[in-house]
Amino acid sequence: LYEKLSAHKTDTGSLDVNEDYDEELFAWAEGQKKMLARHLKGKDVPLSNERIKNLKSLGLEQNRENDYIRRGKWDIMYQQLVEYKNAHGGSIEIPEMPQREDNSPEINRLDKLRRWCNTQTKYLRRCFHGYTKSINLTTERIEKLRKAGFNLVSYEQMYYKLVAHKAETGSLDVDKDADEELFVWAEEQKKMLLRHFNGKPISLPDDQIRNLKSLGYEQKSRRRKGPSDVMDAAATWNSMLQGLVKYKEEHGNFSFPGGKGALPKHERLVMYWARAQRLEYKKLQQGNESSLTAHQLQRLTAIGFEMKPRAEYIPWEQRVQSLREFVSEHGHCKPNKQHPLISFVTKIRQYYRLRKEGYATSLTDERVKDLEELGFVFKAGKSPNVIATVRKSWEERVEELLAFKDEHGHTIVPQLSGPLGGWVHGQRTEYKKMKAGVKTSMTPEKALRLTEIGFQFEAYRTK
């Protein structure tokens, strides 16, 4: 019988024997499998070491307890399902059989097949939600069930369906009535993420957890006692934007006067959120990583929200009068760094230096005369010859470089020609750092942007 089983494996590529095809070999093979299972569990069996070795070499050895039995039974049950489907016009719906003591073997067999199908459906549902541990379903078996007629939807299909839903609606919230299947799946992912955020193990692989987080799911923590919650970051952002719109409708602006102490709780949250958006915008302007998307920036500007709010305008005459009062009290025009006038004094000195270089500024001859009469010191500090310039963003410098290229036909700006020359030299320096693997403000995106406009990263001196 061993030689017969070996020949069967050679002919079919499998150790599974159809009972109807060879009842004797089927019974013997099942008996060997059971005895080998007992042996692998450390129990005594009426098999010599040589026979155990032969059975293992034939392929009956297992990696998990009773795996070979499950493998054999699974294939047998699957074959019965295929036969049932062929005999019933392609249907795999098996009706529930009445439980009676006098049931025929055929009824009992069909009832067993029905229960097996229910188990496979349960396993498939667990795979569908991302539970992959402790499930006796391989990729090959899942494909077989699909061919048999089981309605299968993969985890990846549901994930990309949710991605499309967010792209269409801007939210991860799914209406149960509109798509119950996606709603159930999304709720299951939130439950598993909640366990993950609370430090509990879940069956989702790390890459699926990262995908869900990048899609917009985040943890909402409560300061008081109580469980955390999983929220859709996009839905949170939309909710805060509506709060900002409502604040403007009630107050007519986005100024939030009086600070957090004078605002009710819901308006304080809106104020903090508005500040966070401006901070993210600043990161974006500096070329750093930011959570603010182009679509979100467009929506903020559409409601009139200024990403770089201007300071309250104070007329020149009022500024100069404040400076006169300071001079009358202190006898000089040099307020310390903590004084409210320091920003005005600093700007005047900057404008004066730019004026000396030939740049147009708001500092007219008349204004210079008014300040000189007060004894204003236009050049202060240990290095009066240092030229202070208004700092520009990276994108503004790129636009300035494009204007230079249009005028001169190239992007090689002399280093000592002015602020743009210094910036160009700095980009070459930062690019070398990036190539050397050193921490730098240069990013691949910036390098690509410069390359597109014909920037020369290697400049050579000419005689």
Tokens 């401006």: give the residue.
Answer: 278
Specify the 3-state DSSP secondary structure of 17. coil
In the predicted structure, residue 211 carries a pLDDT above the cut 80: yes
Crossing angle of helices 419-436 and 394-408, in 10° steps, is 110
In the predicted structure, residue 463 carries a pLDDT above the cut 60: no
- What are phi and psi for residue 348, nearest 5 degrees? -60, -45
Q: Quick one: the chain helix, strand, coil %, rounded to 5?
A: 60, 0, 40
Q: Please state, in angstroms and rounded to a whole number, the distance separating the CA atoms of residues 60 and 16.
A: 10
What rounded mean pLDDT belongs to the chain? 78
Q: Residue 259: which region, alpha, beta or left (left: phi > 0; alpha: psi -120 to 50)?
A: left
Looking at per-residue pLDDT, the higher value among 353 and 201 belongs to 353
| pLDDT value for 78 | 87
Condensed to tens digits (0 to 9), the pLDDT of residues 319-331 reads 888 888 888 778 7
Q: Please state, in angstroms and rounded to a whole number, the distance separating the CA atoms of residues 463 and 460.
A: 10
| pLDDT value for 146 | 78
User: How far lies 85's CA from each of 80, 91, 150, 345, in Å?
Assistant: 9, 5, 12, 89
Structure tokens at 344: 């005005």
Q: Please state, in angstroms and rounded to a whole number, the distance separating the CA atoms of residues 5 and 8.
A: 5
Q: Please state, in angstroms and rounded to a whole number, the distance separating the CA atoms of residues 253 and 97.
A: 72
Helix or strand (DSSP H, E) at 217:
strand 217-220
Under 8 Å between Cβ of 126 and 97 = no
| pLDDT value for 259 | 57
Strand pairing partners for 229? 220
Q: Please state, in angstroms and rounded to a whole number, the distance separating the CA atoms of residues 407 and 277.
A: 37
Helix or strand (DSSP H, E) at 232:
strand 229-232
Q: What's the distance, Cα to Cα, between the start and end of the chain in Å?
A: 95
Q: Please state, in angstroms and rounded to a whole number, the distance separating the CA atoms of residues 164 and 151.
A: 21
- When pLDDT is averaged across residues 186-212 and rounded to a whole number, the result is 80
Under 8 Å between Cβ of 34 and 46 = no
Structure tokens at 397: 């410098």
Helix or strand (DSSP H, E) at 230:
strand 229-232
- What are phi and psi for residue 150, nearest 5 degrees? -70, 140
The 8 Å CB, 24+ separation contacts for 39-48 are 40/65, 41/65
In the predicted structure, residue 175 carries a pLDDT above the cut 80: yes
In the predicted structure, residue 400 carries a pLDDT above the cut 50: yes
- What are phi and psi for residue 220, nearest 5 degrees? -105, 110
| pLDDT value for 188 | 80
CB atoms within 10 A of CB 278: 16
pLDDT band at 382 (very low <50, low <70, confident <90, very high): very low
Condensed to tens digits (0 to 9), the pLDDT of residues 43-93 reads 888 888 888 888 888 876 643 334 444 456 788 888 888 888 888 887 878
263 Cα distance to chain centroid: 33
| pLDDT value for 386 | 36
User: How far lies 202's CA from each of 32, 111, 122, 139, 198, in Å?
Assistant: 38, 34, 18, 21, 11
Tokens 């900002």: give the residue.
Answer: 244
CB atoms within 10 A of CB 165: 19
| pLDDT value for 387 | 40
| pLDDT value for 260 | 56
Structure tokens at 1: 């019988």
CB atoms within 10 A of CB 281: 17
Condensed to tens digits (0 to 9), the pLDDT of residues 229-246 reads 455 566 678 888 989 999
In the predicted structure, residue 226 carries a pLDDT above the cut 60: no
369 Cα distance to chain centroid: 58
Task: Judge residue 376's burial from the number of C-beta atoms within 10 Å of its C-beta, 0-12 exposed, 13-18 middle, 19 or more buried.
Answer: buried
What number of CA atoms fall less than 13 Å from residue 236's CA on the CB side?
12
Rg (CA), the chain: 38
In the predicted structure, residue 315 carries a pLDDT above the cut 70: yes
Of 75, 37, 72, 73, the closest CA to residue 56 belongs to 37
Of 114, 17, 15, 112, the closest CA to residue 56 belongs to 15
Looking at per-residue pLDDT, the higher value among 99 and 302 belongs to 302
239 Cα distance to chain centroid: 20
Using a pLDDT cut of 70, give the percent of the chain over it. 80
Condensed to tens digits (0 to 9), the pLDDT of residues 120-154 reads 887 777 676 555 554 567 778 877 887 888 766 66
In the predicted structure, residue 441 carries a pLDDT above the cut 70: yes
Condensed to tens digits (0 to 9), the pLDDT of residues 296-308 reads 888 888 888 888 7
CB atoms within 10 A of CB 244: 19
| pLDDT value for 231 | 53
In the predicted structure, residue 344 carries a pLDDT above the cut 60: yes
